[in-house]
Each structure stands twice: as C-alpha cells, then as structure tokens.
Structure 1
Amino acid sequence: MNDTPLYAVFGNPVAHSKSPQIHAGFAEQLRDPVRYDARLVPVDDFHGHWRAFLNEGGRGANVTVPFKQQAATLADQLSERARQAGAVNTLVVTENGEVIGDNTDGAGLLLDLKRLEAPLTGARILVLGAGGAVRGVLEPLLETGPSEIVVANRTVEKATALAALFDAQGRLRGCSLDAIKGTFDLVINATSASLAGALPPLPEMLFNEGALAYDMMYGAVPTVFLQWAQRHDVRCVDGLGMLVGQAAESWYQWRGTRPETTPILEALRADLC
C-alpha cells in the first residue's frame, strides 16, 4: 500500500495542465513527498471520478474547466471566497472525511501582485471582464484598499451586477468597455479575448505613470493586450505567476506549509521559452 498522500487535478482537457509540475516542485522544495497526477474526466461523470479518487485515498484536488461549478455541489462546506466566486478550484478532504470547497484564484492573484509590488492601496484599478475569474478576485482586491475599482465589460449588465454584488462603500462600479473614463494605476485583463488573440476596445489614454498592465492569461509570447500595453510604456506581466500563486494557496490548504513561488515560476517560464 502506498502511504504517500494523493492529490490530483481534474479537468477536460487536462493534458496541458502545469499543476503536476508545479506541485512536484513544491514537494521537492519543502521535502514533503506527495503523489499528484492529472485526471481526464468525462464531462458527464465528474462525481463518479471524484468518488473513485476518494476510494483511492485522495486527500484533495485542483479542479479546472469545465468542473468548477460541479465541484461546488459535491463539497460539504464552501469557503467564503468559494461562495463569492460561485466556483471551486480546490477541494480539501479533512481528517474526518469532510470535503471543503475553496477558490484560491483571488489569493493567487494577490500573491503575484504583491510579489510584483503592484500599486494596490490607494490605487485606481481597472478590471476588464466580468466572468467567473473576476468574481474570484474582486473581494481580495477590495481588501487591499484601492481608491476605486472599475469593472468594464462588453455586456454592461454583467459588470454592474458584479459591482452591486461586491459593493464596498462606493469603491466599486461597473461600466461598458466604451464607457471607461480616466486613467489607472493597475489594469487587469480577465477577458477571454487573449485566448482568441483579440484586443478589447480600449481608450488610448488608460495608464497613469508607473502603472502595471496584468493579463490573467499567459504564454511563450506576450498576449495581444500586453503587446498593446507595451506600446504605452508601462510595466507588463502575464498570469503565469497567478497560476503558481493559486497553486501555492491550494498546497497550503492541503499541507499547512507555504511554498516559495519564485523558483517554480522561473522554472515554468524557462519551459515556455
């Protein structure tokens, strides 16, 4: 019998996932051996594969598309940030067998932004998009004390609905992409446009001096959004650090220790190049 703690990432597709490499790096760094594998799950049998995983002794899992909402339904408890996000990307099995659903995306983003010494407290922040990824990061961003967060989306109703949901003393508002006004210290692209190689319609005057442009997507070359931002002479960063950060938060939920993310991020970056 293998007593090494068992973890996995569930998804469809999942072969591209960097989670096994990231968690192998954490295990080596912390000298805490675990088994961690990628599991391709049929879209109509997530619950069955989760039960089989538990029968193997599974202690926790990461969950990626298209199962984040389904993962929330099988958890015995949801963390507050999972409730806010409306989705689960981390499942934790407690010693008594209870399953807790968590969402570590916001914590991962904040960990990376703090690593980058991004403007946060007192800053004016623009978030592009109003999908599930944005739901998971608004509360953590608000907790850093910005002067204002503007959520801009092609469908304005989605942006204003999110602003109403997370309303915090008037520091959060929603608008359409063509109604963006003023300049910002931090601009986060959370739209799916990067996946399609497209650029959201944005005003040319968008960045304050010393601003940071951050795209939640990542790749071997800068996204179209980051290429556009580079022409405006601002610091540009992709979302690879957020990926490592949310994984580090998952590891902490499972193992109670906090990995150092920089060496893992550097190794992943080198593999992309």
Structure 2
Amino acid sequence: MKKFAVFGNPIAQSLSPTIHQMFAKSCAEDISYEKIEAPLDGFEATIDNFFAASQTVGCNVTVPFKERACAMAKHKDDAVVMARAANTLMRNDEGELCAFNTDGIGLVADLTNNGLDLQGTKVLLLGAGGAARGVVHPLLNAGIESLHILNRTIEKAQAIAEDANNPKVTAVNHKQLLADYDVVINSTSASLSGTLPTVPDAVLANCHLAYDMVYSKDNGATVFMAHAEQLGAAKQLDGLGMLVEQAAAAFYIWTGKQPSTASVIEYLRNR
C-alpha cells in the first residue's frame, strides 16, 4: 500500500484525504492518505519521520508550512522557485526530497474546465502573497495577453513582476487598472474572514469572470463572489475546482496516473 498524507496546522478541515481516496479508487491504486497536524516548531522532523517509512511515496503541504517545505527540498520545480513555496513533496530514486507547486496548474485546469479559453485574455490578480506567486507561470503558459497584479503594498506586487521576468506581468496601482479585464482572480484570503480585497467596483462590474481562490464551506458564494455578482460580473467561481485539480496534478506526479476530476468536484459540491 502506498502511503500519503497532508501536513498542516490546523489540518482537521482538509478535504485532501477524501479527494485522493476517490482518485485512488478511480485509478485502481491501493493507498492510505491521512491528515497530520505537524507542530509549528517540528515540521521538518515530522516530514523526515514520515518519509522514513518504506511505503511512503509523497505528501501534500498546506499552511503554514509551504515555505518550509520549499526550503527542505533539494530539487524544486519552476513553480516552487517562483512561489517560494511547495504544496507537494516526494522522494526520488536517490532518496532526495523533490518539491512541486501544483496550485497554478489547478487554477488553469479549473478555468479551462469551466469553458474559459485563456489564450489572449487580460487577467487581474488581486494579492501578492504565495498564492499569487504560484499561479503566475501557469497563467503565462496558458497564453494570456497580460497579467496585472494589484496589492495594497505595491512593492510586493513589483517583486513578483520582477521575478516573473516577463513583459506581460505588471504591478499596477488603482490609476493603472484597465476597464475591461476578462478575469479578476482574488488570491487573497479575505473571503475567509468575510472581508473584501480592495478593488474598484467598476473593475468587477465589467469583468467576464470573478474568481475566488478560496471556497465556502457551505458551498454557497464567497463574499467576493456575491459582491462581484451584485456589481454585474458575468460569472463567478470559487476555488473548489482548483483544489481538486491541484490535487490531481499531485496525484499524477506521485503515480503517473491522471485521475478524473469532474465526479470528485460534483461530490464535494453536493456533500
């Protein structure tokens, strides 16, 4: 039996075990997948102990340990280097820890699944934390025309633009915002506390899609989604599909099998 887990603190709310067990069943994989609350002062030791077991294949990592997971790894994919954070770990044949960040892959997959062709689109990204960093390269790889980053502290947005090293990525202030973004993505955690990111109403009113990376536990609209709908945004989506798709990317890294995601998303929506 292949052994997996997700590490976080807190971790009780995680849907990862449900998602990966459904993936495993559909792909005929025999796995165990548990939730492990690592102590804040003992994350690295907990990871080392987990990988010491011969059956262990890999794990997921969530807040507040993604940056520390990145620091532990000897090998890092481009998304990890850009995000400075990892959500997926595994050991290679030499026993070296390898880190991946599948969040951006998950976002692009979810957008595509919902009928959005990203080729040539103008995207506004709200926030400049690790969640924002993790989606920059996958969005660029999907063929977007431009990526503007709006953050309360513009220096953080500028740092992402500089690290992206691509003329399509620009840090903007309120005066530089366009009137007609195709997609506005909220990468902040504002909705989790019932607040809104700072963005002019007109920007949300005119966008085709308002996307919130977080999702509501009761499967209702997030604060950001409800606000965008009220203003007149054509479509609103939460991050549940992104959650499942980033998990699918991790499952593929570990097993080489690409699980079907539609039934898992539907199950979680109706749970």
Matches within 5 A, 1:232-251: 232-251=232-251
Matches within 5 A, 1:38-187: 38-57=35-54, 58-168=56-166, 170-177=167-174, 179-187=176-184
Secondary structure in structure 1 of the residue aligned to 2:18: helix
1:190 aligns with 2:200: no
Contact 2:184 2:207 survives alignment (8 Å) = no
**1:55: Cα distance to partner?**
2.2
TM-score with structure 2 length normalisation?
Answer: 0.94
Pick aligned residue for 2:214 from 207, 212, 217: 217
Secondary structure in structure 2 of the residue aligned to 1:205: helix
1:264 aligns with 2:264: yes
Alpha-carbon separation, structure 1, partners of 2:175 and 2:239 = 25
Contact 2:7 2:60 survives alignment (8 Å) = yes
Cα deviation code 1:27-51 (max 9, x no counterpart): 1111111111011110111111112
Q: 1:167 to 1:204 in 2, by over 3 A?
A: same
Q: How many residues are paired up? A: 267
Q: 1:202 to 1:119 in 2, by over 3 A?
A: farther
**1:147: Cα distance to partner?**
1.8
**1:250: Cα distance to partner?**
0.4
**1:165: Cα distance to partner?**
1.6
Instruction: Let me know the Cα RMSD of the aligned residues.
Output: 1.6
Alpha-carbon separation, structure 2, partners of 1:207 and 1:63 = 32
TM-score with structure 1 length normalisation?
Answer: 0.93
Kindly provide the amino acid, as one letter, of the partner of residue 222 in structure 2: T
**1:191: Cα distance to partner?**
1.3
**1:210: Cα distance to partner?**
7.3
Contact 2:180 2:206 survives alignment (8 Å) = no
Alpha-carbon separation, structure 2, partners of 1:156 and 1:85 = 17
Secondary structure in structure 1 of the residue aligned to 2:149: strand
Alpha-carbon separation, structure 2, partners of 1:165 and 1:94 = 28
Structure 2: segments with no counterpart, 5+ residues:
none
Secondary structure in structure 1 of the residue aligned to 2:150: strand
Alpha-carbon separation, structure 1, partners of 2:155 and 2:192 = 23
Alpha-carbon separation, structure 2, partners of 1:200 and 1:79 = 30
**1:53: Cα distance to partner?**
0.9
Cα deviation code 1:110-156 (max 9, x no counterpart): 11111112241111111110100010001111112222111001111
Cα deviation code 1:142-197 (max 9, x no counterpart): 112222111001111111221122132x2111123565332211110111211221
Secondary structure in structure 1 of the residue aligned to 2:258: coil
